[in-house]
Structure 1
Amino acid sequence: MTDESTPSAGNGSRLDPAEQRAAVRDRYARIASESSSCCGDTDSCADAPTDRSSELGYSDADREAVAAGADMGLGCGNPTAIAGLEDGDTVLDLGSGAGFDCFLAAREVGPTGRVIGVDMTPEMVERARENVDANDATTVEFRLGEIEHLPVADESVDVILSNCVINLSADKSQVFREAFRVLRPGGRLAVSDVVLSADLPADRRADPASVAACIGGAAPVPALAELLSDAGFVGVAIEPKADSESFIREWDDEHDPSDYVVAATIKAEKPRGTAAAQ
């Protein structure tokens, strides 16, 4: 089992976990309040969210289906496109932000389905709840909580989504254990995130701004695969996306993050007949 105390493991950062949570919470509280966009720390983050969402893989139909205010241009992919959602599914979004992926998922699962968004930033949760009425999304709810300690019952979810959020966690192994706990047997994980493609300089790993900007906390593919397997998942598939360089490069005005991180799709399943992890 990988030791998360090292940067090569799921931790990906040498920051104190409390300092890391504070840096992430502060950054996304500011984004929610100022309506700026994107994971990175650059002036270009103020670009129109719809333009950035097109780069991330959302279609015109996706963007037009959700009322303005939910699509903030955050993320590094489109997890709803890889999730294979079906009518009646219960969906959980880890780090749901203003709710864009949740509202798209609600359209896929229909009136008999349910979508739960969890975010640790009160300002984001407040904004997402305001967007529920704007989208007439009666099957969507948002809860304040940390993805390492989900406010969700055991074995109550069919599909877990997440969009460029797990890299922000100081304890990825706990995130995956919680995901395993809340999934029903046969449930699945469909995640868009960033992974390390090269060794990240130590000063970037220890920089709160770099970690909060989806760079300093990224982990390499083998470490993530091991953490998912250790949590009990099977069918683990992590596929980096080389074409993500075009938007990752815009995340920092002073450095090129695409030298070190690349977007990826992450899929895994909870075996059928498996009880929740304790």
Structure 2
Amino acid sequence: MKNEQELKDLVRERYAKIAGQGKVENAASCCGATTPSNKVYNIMMDDYTDTDGYVEDADLGLGCGLPTQFALIEKGDTVIDLGSGAGNDCFVARHETGAEGKVIGIDFTPVMIEKARLNAEKMGYNNVEFREGDIDAMPVNDDVADVIVSNCVLNLVPNKKKVIGEIYRVLKPGGHFSISDIVLVGDLPEALKEDAEMYAGCVAGAIQKSEYLSLMEKKGFANLKIQKEKPIAIPSDILEKYLSAEEVKVFNTGGTGIFSITVFAQKPGSKMKKALAHLTDIKETPDCDPRSGCC
């Protein structure tokens, strides 16, 4: 696998290309990165279309959850979205903060920043801004955010420990995050782990679920909770690009799990919100296995 800078350059290049694609094209592939499956269904993303604040032009179909739905955003909050893309989650968050709040989107792909700013200007949102920068070195001062959200982005960053440290730094004492991401249970085949395209596609960069949660606990976050969890199945026509027919069979029956999880946690402080009673676990089980083509 490439080194950290090479992986960042790979993701930046791929997501610059994605910025010019449509939602349908992106959603039919792994986070828009791979050749679309000939079975037309969404592999990872959740449907935003009935969500308050949704802006269709800002939805590139790249997410794996609805973190803003679980983020307990209140009027007047300052919210930061990590890996903000064309601005979709920022605009949903802005609906929750109201005009009196502030939303900051951070993305390291210049064309995404440009697209998001155009969307914000079109909507007349003067309290939504987009900053170019790495989320493992955020262009934000300490103790700024009441809430941090992110949608299928941390898995793309090579140094996840560093990102989690940055989240802790920029949250106010008592602030919290709600992050949707891809995690693993069991090991991916080497062909998938070593493939750059699968890294940009949110799969090869994912780490073990237990390690992911442990990094957050070790940093000192409190009240860590999985708010939502759903299994992700990669269609066979994508797997067959990397694995033999026998390897695909083993992968599909070998116990390796790929999951989208939405995780909540708080930075300790006197202003920690008391709304934990509303944080209910949701586990989704597909009506059928997408690998079978039934979807």
Which category describes the TM-score, using the shorter chain as reference length? 0.7 to 0.9
Which piece of structure 1 moves more, 135-144 or 196-205? 196-205
Q: Are 2:99 and 1:111 aligned?
A: yes
1:151-202 deviations in Å (ceiling 9; x for gaps) = 0110010000000000001000000000000000010010011110221122
Pick the structure with greater CA Rg.
Answer: 2
Per-residue deviation at 1:103? 0.2
Is the CA contact (8 Å cut-off) linking 2:223 and 2:266 kept in structure 1? yes
**Aligned partners of 1:98, 1:45: CA distance in 2, in Å?**
26
**Aligned partners of 1:172, 1:268: CA distance in 2, in Å?**
16
**Aligned partners of 2:201, 2:49: CA distance in 1, in Å?**
25
Match of residue 9 from structure 1: none
Q: What residue identity is the alignment partner of 1:15?
A: K
Match of residue 36 from structure 2: 43
Which piece of structure 1 moves more, 141-150 or 233-242? 233-242
Match of residue 131 from structure 1: 119
**Aligned partners of 2:158, 2:236: CA distance in 1, in Å?**
21
Is the CA contact (8 Å cut-off) linking 1:102 and 1:140 kept in structure 2? yes
Q: Are 2:239 and 1:254 aligned?
A: yes
Q: 5+ unaligned residues in a row in structure 1: which ranges? A: 1-13
Per-residue deviation at 1:252? 6.5
Q: Are 2:26 and 1:33 aligned?
A: no
Match of residue 214 from structure 1: 202
Among candidates 189, 198, 203, match of residue 191 of structure 2:
203
TM-score normalised by L of structure 1: 0.83
CA RMSD of aligned residues (A): 2.6
Among candidates 56, 61, 75, match of residue 73 of structure 1:
61
- Seen in structure 2, the aligned counterparts of structure 1 residues 250 and 58 have a Cα distance that, compared at 3 Å, is farther
- Seen in structure 2, the aligned counterparts of structure 1 residues 122 and 185 have a Cα distance that, compared at 3 Å, is same
Match of residue 174 from structure 1: 162
Is the CA contact (8 Å cut-off) linking 1:42 and 1:252 kept in structure 2? no
TM-score normalised by L of structure 2: 0.78
Is the CA contact (8 Å cut-off) linking 2:150 and 2:178 kept in structure 1? yes
Identity of aligned residues (%): 41
Q: 5+ unaligned residues in a row in structure 2: which ranges? A: 241-247, 272-295
Q: Aligned pair count?
A: 253
Per-residue deviation at 1:57? 4.4
Q: Are 2:6 and 1:19 aligned?
A: yes
- Seen in structure 2, the aligned counterparts of structure 1 residues 179 and 189 have a Cα distance that, compared at 3 Å, is same
